[in-house]
A and B are shown apart, each in its own frame.
Chain A
Amino acid sequence: MSHIPVLIPLSLLVSSLLALLAGLRSPGWGHKISLGGVSASFLFSLAGIRAVLRDGMPLRYALGNWPPPVGIEFVLDSLGAYMTGIITFIGVVVLVYAPRSLARETPGREVYTYPAMLLLLTGLTGISLTGDIFNLYVFLEIAAIAGYALLATGDRAAPVAAFRYLLIGSLGGGFYLLGVAFLYFSAGTLNMADLQARLPDLVENRAVISAAAFMIVGLGVKMALFPLHFWLPDAYTNAPSAAAGLIAPLMTKVAAFAIVRFFLDVFPPSFLTEALPLVSTVGWLSAGGILFGSVMAVAQKDYRRMLAYSSVGQIAYVGLGLGMANPVGMVGGLLHILNHALMKGCLFLIGGSIRYRTGITQIAEMRGLGRLMPWTMAAFVVAALAMIGIPPTAGFFSKWYLILGTLEAGNWWWFGVIILSSLLTAVYFFRTVEMIFREPEEGDPVARIGRKRGAGVTGVGPSPEVQLGLGGATEGEREAPLSMLLPILVMGAAILAAGLLNVAIVNGLLAGAVAHAGG
C-alpha cells in the first residue's frame, strides 16, 4: 500500500485550508502556500507516474485502513497517473500565473480565490484517483462547487453564468447520484473493482442499464457533451482569466475521464454496446458537438467566447474517441485530454495577458498585438497551430489517432467530421492570427497604447502613466510580466514536447488502459 494516491489530493486539500487561513492574515502568504501545495501535489503525481511506469502495477491506498470492498480505496493506475499529472501540472502553471492577473481583474478577492482553486484541484484529482463510485460523486461536487465560486468572481454577468452552471451541474450530479443508487442496489457494492467483477452477471438487469444511462447523462452534463453544453459559453466568457485558465483545460476533461473509467473498468464492455447503444450515442452526440462547437466558434467576436465554443467542440473529440470503442480511437480521445488541456489552457492564459496589458477582449480590437507582445503572440501561434492540427504540435497527433480510429471503426461520417472541423478551426484561428500580426490602424486600442507609451524602445521621455484607463499598464512595459509570460511559454513548449513525445506517452500510460476496449 502506497501513500502517494492519497497524498496527491490531500496536499491540495490541506494547503487549501492553510492558504485560506494564512491569506486572511497576509495575501502574499496565501499565494505562497497555495503554490507550495500544488507543487507538492505535482511532485507526488510525478512520483506516481514513475512508479506506475516502473512497476506496471497500480498503487493502492485504502482510506482509514479499511480494506476494499468495504472501505474506500484510492487507486493510481496508469490512467489515473496520467490524469493527475495533467491536473497538477496545469495547477502549478496557473498558480504561478494567477497573482498579477487576479490583481488586475478581481482585486481584493485573491485571498478566497486561491483556496477555491486548490479545492477545485482537490476535487479533480480525487475523481481521478478514487475507486469508489460514491466517493466519486463527493469529489465531483467538491470540484463543481469550487468551480461555481471561481467562475462567479469575474465580470458583471459572471454570477448569473455561475448560477446557471450550478443549476444544470447539480442536475447532472443528481443524475449521477441516482445512477450510483441504482448500481448499488443492484450489485451491492460501491467499489469499482468489485463492480467490475459482479456486473457481468447482471447484464440483463434493467436497473443496471438505467444506472449506466443516468451516469452517462449526469457526467455528460459536467463534460458539456452536446447538447448538454449550454452552460459552458457564458461560464467561460465571464470568468476571470486565471480561473478560466484553470477550469477550461480540466473540468470537462475530468468528467470525460470519469465516463472512460466507467466504460473501461466498471461496466462490462459488451454491455455498453448491446443493452443500450450508449457508446455509439456518445459518439454521435460528440460528432454533433464537434461541428456545433466549431461552427459557433467561427461566429464569435469575443475572444473568450470563441475559445469557449471551441472547447465544446474539442471536448467532443474526446467523446468521439470513446464512441469509436476501439483502442486506437480511445487512445486518440485520451491523448486529446492532455493536448487540449495544454492548448486551451495556454490560449486562455494568453487572453488574460492581453487583458492585463491592454484590456482588450474582442478579436476585432486585437489588431497589431504582435508588435506589442511578441513572445505571448508567438505562443499564441504555436497554440493555434496545435488546435488546427499542424504537425509536429501535439494537436496533430491526437487527431491522427482519432482519424485512424474512425477508419478502424469504418465510420466515414466521423472521419469527415474530424477533417471538416479542423478546417473550421483553421478559419477561426487564422482570422485571429491575421488580426494580431497586422499593423495597428488609427483608433485601434493597440495604437493608442503604443502612442501613449511613446515611440521606440528606449523608454526615455514621458513619465510613467499609472492609469491608462485601458488596463492600467505603465509606460515602457509592453510584453506581459514574467510571472504571466513564463507559464504561457512553458505551456507552449509543452505543446511541442507532447507532440514529439506522444508515442512515449501513449505506450507508457494509455495503451495498457485501453487494451481491452472494444469488447
Chain B
Amino acid sequence: MMHGIMANAPLYAVLASALAAVAIAFTGEKHRNLRETWTILASLLKFGFIAAMVPGVLAGVRYEVSLVELAPGVSLALRADPTGVLFALSASFLWILTSFYSIGYMRGGKEHKQTRFFAMLAVCLSATVGLALAANLLTFVLFYEILSIATYPLVIHKESEKAYRIGRQYLVYAITAGLVLVAGTALIYQAAGTLDFQGGGFLPPEAGRGVLVTIFLLFFVGFGVKGGVMPLHSWLPAAMIAPTPVSALLHAVAVVKAGVFGFVRLVGFVFGPGLMGKMGLSTVLAGLAAITIVLASFIAMTKDDLKARLAYSTVGHLSYVVLGVALLTPTAMLGGAFHIVTHAAMKITLFFCAGALYVHMHYTKVSELDGVGRRMPITMGAFAVGAVGLAGFPGTGGFLSKLMIVQGAAEGGHTLFMVILLASGLLNAGYLFPVFIRAFFRSSPEHTSYDEASWFMVGPIVVTAALALLLGTMPDAIFHFFGVASEAVSAVVAGGAP
C-alpha cells in the first residue's frame, strides 16, 4: 500500500505545471522574474515527482491514481508504468532545461506575449505528462486533445498573417487527428469493453478483421499526424514558424513524441505484438516508417533554412521509433523506446543551437553559418555532438538506440530494413554535418573572436549535449533511462497490466 505523497505522485506530476500555468497567467509581465520562477519551480517539481517514482517503477511498484469516472467503466486514471515513465521522465527533464533556455531566448529576442508563452508551455507539459502516464485510452485521448489545443497559441506566437495561416493548418491536422482517435477509441470500446492498457494488448482477435483493420487505420491517422509519419507529416515543417523553444521542446520532445508514444501504446498495449504480427499490420507500419525515414532525409538535404532541415530530420527520426516498435522483436522495441529519449536529447540540442544562432546573430539559414564556429564554439560544438549522435556514431546515445533497432531487424530477418537504417545514418550525416563543418572549417571575416549567446541558452545546450553523450556511454546511469526502457519492453512481452 502506498503511503503519503508518493501514492499520488502521478497526479502531482501532472498538476505541478497546470497550477504553475495559472500562477504564471496571474503574475503577468509586470513581475516577470516571479513569473519565470514559477516555470522553473514547476519544472523541477514535475521532474522530481517523476524521478522519485523511478526506483519504485523499476522494482515493479505501480503508482496509480484514479479520479472521476468519465464514461461507464472508464475512469480518468493515471498509472506510472515503465513505458509512461520513460516518456514522462525525458519530457520533464528536458523541460527544466527548456525553461532556462526560453528565458534567455524570450528576453534576448525581446519577444512579445511572454506570459501567454510560458503559461501555455506549462499547460502543454501537463498534458504531455498526463498522456504519458495515462492508464487507459480515454485518459490518453483526453490529454492528447488538450495538448493539441494548448500548442496552438504557441504555434501562432508570432501573430503574423503567415503564422495564423499555419496555425489554421495545424488545427485542422490536430483536430482531425483527435476526432479520428476518438472514433477509433469508441470502436475499441465496443469491441473490447474496456480501454485499459494491457501489456501484450487487450483487443480480442474475435472482433473480426474488418473492425481491427479499421481501428488500426484510424489510430494510424490519429497518431501518425502527430508522429510525423508520411504522408501526414506536413504540419511539422510548417510549425517551425513557432519560436525555437517551442520547436525544440514541443516539436522534438513532447508533442511529436506523444504521437510516436501513441504508436508504442498501440502496438505494445492495445493490439499487442502478437496480433499486429498475425494481421500483417506491423509490416504496413514498418514500411511506411521506412519510407518516411528515407524520404525525410532526402528532403532535409535540400533545405537551406536550418529549422526546416531540423524539422525534416525530426520527421525521419520519429519514424525510427515507429519502425523499432513495428519490427515487433523485443530488441527492436527496446531500441525504438530508447530512441524516444536519445533523439530527444540530441534533437533538442540542435534546436537550441538554432535558436541561439537566431537570437544572437539573426541567422536562420545554413548558408549563413560559414565560420561562426569561431564566434560561438560551444554552441557549434554542441551541434556537432548532436549531429554525430543522430547519424549514429559510436559513443553517442543515437548509436545505441539505432544499433538495437538494427539488431532487432536482423533478428526478425528484415534485411531491407537493416539496410535502410544503416543508409539513413549516412543520409543524416549528409544533411547535418555540413552545418558544423561550415561553421568550423570555413572562415569568415565577420567572426573573429569569441562571442557566445547568453548563458541562459548556452548552459542548457551544454547539458543536453552532455546527456546525448552519456546516454551512449552510460545509458543507465542517468535516471536509469535504459533500465526503465527495458522494463517497458518486458511489460509488453510479459503481458498483463503494464
Same complex origin of A and B? yes
User: A interface vs B, CB < 8 Å?
Assistant: 385, 388-392, 396-397, 399-401, 403-404, 407-408, 415, 419, 422-423, 426, 430, 434, 437-439, 500-504, 506
Of the residues B153, B171, B179, B187, contact of A407 by C-beta under 8 Å: B187
A408 and B68 CA atoms in complex are apart in Å by 25
B183 touches A403 (CB 8 A): yes
Knowing A423-B176, A502-B70, A503-B72, the reply to whether A390 touches B149 (Cβ < 8 A) is: yes
Residue pairs across A and B with Cβ atoms less than 8 A apart, 24 shown, are A389-B179, A390-B178, A391-B70, A391-B145, A391-B146, A392-B70, A396-B182, A397-B70, A399-B182, A400-B182, A401-B71, A403-B182, A419-B182, A426-B171, A426-B175, A430-B168, A430-B171, A434-B167, A438-B159, A438-B164, A501-B68, A502-B70, A503-B69, A503-B71
Q: Min CB distance, B470 to chain A, in Å?
A: 38
Query: From B75, which residue of chain A is reached at the shortest CB distance?
Result: A503
The interface residues of chain B lying within 8 Å CB-to-CB of A419 are: 179-180, 182-183
A390 touches B146 (CB 8 A): yes
A397 touches B71 (CB 8 A): yes
- Is B186 part of the binding interface, using a Cβ–Cβ cutoff of 8 Å? yes
Q: Min CB distance, B241 to chain A, in Å?
A: 15
Q: Min CB distance, A316 to chain B, in Å?
A: 18
Query: From B211, which residue of chain A is reached at the shortest CB distance?
Result: A407
User: B interface vs A, CB < 8 Å?
Assistant: 68-72, 76, 138, 141-142, 145-146, 149, 153, 159, 164, 167-168, 171, 175-176, 178-180, 182-183, 186-187, 189-190
The interface residues of chain A lying within 8 Å CB-to-CB of B69 are: 503-504
The interface residues of chain A lying within 8 Å CB-to-CB of B186 are: 400, 403-404, 407
The interface residues of chain A lying within 8 Å CB-to-CB of B189 are: 404
The interface residues of chain A lying within 8 Å CB-to-CB of B178 are: 390
- Chain A at the B interface: mostly helix, strand, loop or mixed? helix
A430 and B138 CA atoms in complex are apart in Å by 24
The interface residues of chain B lying within 8 Å CB-to-CB of A504 are: 69
B159 touches A439 (CB 8 A): yes
Knowing A385-B149, A400-B186, A404-B186, the reply to whether A503 touches B159 (Cβ < 8 A) is: no
Nearest 4 CB-CB pairs, A to B? A391-B142, A403-B186, A503-B69, A407-B190
Q: Min CB distance, B112 to chain A, in Å?
A: 10
B168 touches A408 (CB 8 A): no
Q: Min CB distance, B183 to chain A, in Å?
A: 6
Query: From B74, which residue of chain A is reached at the shortest CB distance?
Result: A503
Query: From A403, which residue of chain B is reached at the shortest CB distance?
Result: B186
Of the residues B72, B141, B168, contact of A506 by C-beta under 8 Å: B72
Q: Min CB distance, B136 to chain A, in Å?
A: 13
Knowing A400-B186, A434-B168, the reply to whether A388 touches B175 (Cβ < 8 A) is: yes
The interface residues of chain A lying within 8 Å CB-to-CB of B70 are: 391-392, 397, 500, 502-503
A392 touches B190 (CB 8 A): no
A385 and B153 CA atoms in complex are apart in Å by 14
Q: Min CB distance, A374 to chain B, in Å?
A: 10
Knowing A391-B142, A392-B142, A434-B164, the reply to whether A415 touches B68 (Cβ < 8 A) is: no
The interface residues of chain B lying within 8 Å CB-to-CB of A407 are: 186-187, 190
Q: Min CB distance, A7 to chain B, in Å?
A: 33
A404 and B183 CA atoms in complex are apart in Å by 9
Q: Min CB distance, B267 to chain A, in Å?
A: 23
The interface residues of chain A lying within 8 Å CB-to-CB of B183 are: 403, 415, 419
The interface residues of chain A lying within 8 Å CB-to-CB of B142 are: 391-392, 396
A423 and B177 CA atoms in complex are apart in Å by 10
Q: Min CB distance, B422 to chain A, in Å?
A: 41
The interface residues of chain A lying within 8 Å CB-to-CB of B72 are: 503, 506
Query: From B164, which residue of chain A is reached at the shortest CB distance?
Result: A434
Q: Min CB distance, A503 to chain B, in Å?
A: 4
Given contacts A390-B178, A430-B171, A501-B68, 16 further A-B contacts (CB under 8 A): A389-B182, A390-B146, A390-B149, A392-B70, A392-B76, A399-B182, A400-B71, A400-B182, A404-B189, A407-B186, A407-B190, A419-B182, A430-B168, A434-B164, A438-B164, A439-B159
A437 and B168 CA atoms in complex are apart in Å by 13
Of the residues B146, B179, B190, contact of A423 by C-beta under 8 Å: B179
A203 and B297 CA atoms in complex are apart in Å by 70
A426 and B172 CA atoms in complex are apart in Å by 8
A422 and B171 CA atoms in complex are apart in Å by 13
Q: Min CB distance, A441 to chain B, in Å?
A: 11
The interface residues of chain B lying within 8 Å CB-to-CB of A401 are: 71
Q: Min CB distance, B119 to chain A, in Å?
A: 12
A396 and B164 CA atoms in complex are apart in Å by 26
The interface residues of chain B lying within 8 Å CB-to-CB of A391 are: 70, 138, 141-142, 145-146
Query: From B218, which residue of chain A is reached at the shortest CB distance?
Result: A419
The interface residues of chain A lying within 8 Å CB-to-CB of B187 are: 407
The interface residues of chain B lying within 8 Å CB-to-CB of A408 are: 190
A503 and B69 CA atoms in complex are apart in Å by 6
A399 and B178 CA atoms in complex are apart in Å by 13
A503 and B175 CA atoms in complex are apart in Å by 25
Q: Min CB distance, B158 to chain A, in Å?
A: 12
The interface residues of chain A lying within 8 Å CB-to-CB of B146 are: 390-391
The interface residues of chain A lying within 8 Å CB-to-CB of B179 are: 389, 419, 422-423
A391 and B138 CA atoms in complex are apart in Å by 9
The interface residues of chain B lying within 8 Å CB-to-CB of A385 are: 149
The interface residues of chain B lying within 8 Å CB-to-CB of A503 are: 68-72
A391 and B175 CA atoms in complex are apart in Å by 12
Most A Cβ at <10 Å: residue of B69, B153, B187: B69
Q: Min CB distance, B95 to chain A, in Å?
A: 23
Q: Min CB distance, B42 to chain A, in Å?
A: 21
Query: From B180, which residue of chain A is reached at the shortest CB distance?
Result: A419
The interface residues of chain B lying within 8 Å CB-to-CB of A415 are: 183
The interface residues of chain B lying within 8 Å CB-to-CB of A403 are: 182-183, 186
Q: Min CB distance, A54 to chain B, in Å?
A: 21
Query: From A408, which residue of chain B is reached at the shortest CB distance?
Result: B190
The interface residues of chain A lying within 8 Å CB-to-CB of B149 are: 385, 390
A500 and B69 CA atoms in complex are apart in Å by 8
The interface residues of chain B lying within 8 Å CB-to-CB of A506 are: 72
The interface residues of chain A lying within 8 Å CB-to-CB of B153 are: 437
The interface residues of chain A lying within 8 Å CB-to-CB of B182 are: 389, 396, 399-400, 403, 419
A115 and B362 CA atoms in complex are apart in Å by 66
A390 touches B145 (CB 8 A): yes
Q: Min CB distance, B218 to chain A, in Å?
A: 10
Query: From A439, which residue of chain B is reached at the shortest CB distance?
Result: B159
Query: From A433, which residue of chain B is reached at the shortest CB distance?
Result: B152
A501 and B70 CA atoms in complex are apart in Å by 7
Q: Min CB distance, B144 to chain A, in Å?
A: 9
Most A Cβ at <10 Å: residue of B76, B176, B178: B178
Query: From A328, which residue of chain B is reached at the shortest CB distance?
Result: B72
The interface residues of chain B lying within 8 Å CB-to-CB of A438 are: 159, 164
A119 and B167 CA atoms in complex are apart in Å by 47
A404 and B179 CA atoms in complex are apart in Å by 14
A392 and B145 CA atoms in complex are apart in Å by 9
A272 and B287 CA atoms in complex are apart in Å by 51
Most A Cβ at <10 Å: residue of B70, B180, B189: B70
A419 and B182 CA atoms in complex are apart in Å by 9
The interface residues of chain B lying within 8 Å CB-to-CB of A422 are: 179
A399 and B72 CA atoms in complex are apart in Å by 14
The interface residues of chain B lying within 8 Å CB-to-CB of A502 are: 70-71
Most A Cβ at <10 Å: residue of B76, B159, B182: B182
A385 and B146 CA atoms in complex are apart in Å by 10
Q: Min CB distance, A413 to chain B, in Å?
A: 13
Q: Min CB distance, A442 to chain B, in Å?
A: 15
Q: Min CB distance, A8 to chain B, in Å?
A: 29
A422 and B182 CA atoms in complex are apart in Å by 11
Query: From A412, which residue of chain B is reached at the shortest CB distance?
Result: B214
A499 and B16 CA atoms in complex are apart in Å by 22
A399 and B71 CA atoms in complex are apart in Å by 11
Most B Cβ at <10 Å: residue of A388, A403, A500, A502: A403
The interface residues of chain A lying within 8 Å CB-to-CB of B164 are: 434, 438
The interface residues of chain B lying within 8 Å CB-to-CB of A423 are: 175-176, 179
Query: From A406, which residue of chain B is reached at the shortest CB distance?
Result: B186
The interface residues of chain A lying within 8 Å CB-to-CB of B138 are: 391
